[in-house]
Amino acid sequence: TIILDGPNYLRWSSAMTSFLKGKKLWRIVTGDKPAPVKRPDETDDSFADRPEDWDSTNHRILTWFTNTSVPSVNMHFSRFDLAKEAWDFLASRYTSADLAHQYQLVSTLNQLRQESGQSIDEFHSQMSYYWGLLSVSEPKWHSLSESISEETRRLSITSQQSPFIIAATSSAPPHRSDNSRRPRCTHCHRIGHTVKTCYDIVGRPLGKSTGLKNAAATTTAPSGSESSSQIHQLSTADIEALLNQVMSRTGSSAMSVTSGNT
């Protein structure tokens, strides 16, 4: 008799399953044969014995569970009235670490060696026993099939939603930068500066990298006649501002030269 102590649950459950099937009681443990229900054409006297017989068998199975397990395991059975509840409890408690148990079985198989004096048949039986435990701990094919079906259904739903997501994204208006509040030069008509600081008029400071903007300005620079016509279109206030800008720069340069010569 195998005594359930926790780590040997797979071995115990395999032996107990065979025992219950041999007694034709396995369907009570699986729940396929629940407690009887009174039929419409059945009298109270004839029905009274059926639930009692079923309950007697159910508690007999619970007693077998208790007698084939250590106290630290069977102490949990007192809160169960059904053999199915106790069976499901053991399954959920001792199969939650399947990966660890499988690793232990594989390690045992790798370390298994034929001992001195041990026959081939005995060694083969020992190996077959561990291989059987390892096969029992593997996931059922129907569970794997259900997982694959669920993943396929999820991917199908996602692929059906993708065109709507793409359409909604493409229909969104493009983002445009707000240039209405940025200054515009009345000379070169570029955005980002005014005529007072336009490099085409006041010149680019020394050491200032031209970059792509200068290349674009060179490419789109107006001809001499167009430039002179645009200068003639400047207002009096713009010309005065330019003169002040030039005079201030000239005065600063003269001051620096004078101070350098003293």
| 80-95 tens-digit pLDDT | 999 999 999 998 887 7
Query: What digits encode the pLDDT tens for the residues 145-183?
Result: 666 777 777 777 766 655 555 555 555 555 555 556 778
The answer to which of 13-27, 149-163, 194-208 has the lowest mean pLDDT is: 149-163
- Tell me, what's the pLDDT at 226? 46
Please provide the average confidence, as pLDDT, over all residues in the chain: 75
For the cut 70, the answer to whether the pLDDT of residue 107 exceeds it is: yes
The answer to which of 13-22, 26-35, 196-205 has the lowest mean pLDDT is: 196-205
For the cut 80, the answer to whether the pLDDT of residue 59 exceeds it is: yes
Task: For 8-64, give the secondary structure using H, E and C.
Answer: CHHHHHHHHHHHHHHCCCHHHHHCCCCCCCCCCCCCHHHHHHHHHHHHHHHHHHHHH
> What are phi and psi for residue 261, nearest 5 degrees?
-85, -20
Half-sphere exposure of 257 (CA within 13 A, CB side): 6
pTM to 2 decimal places: 0.44
The answer to which of 19-23, 55-59, 111-115, 132-136 has the lowest mean pLDDT is: 132-136
Query: What digits encode the pLDDT tens for the residues 35-44?
Result: 999 888 888 8
Mean pLDDT of 116-125: 90
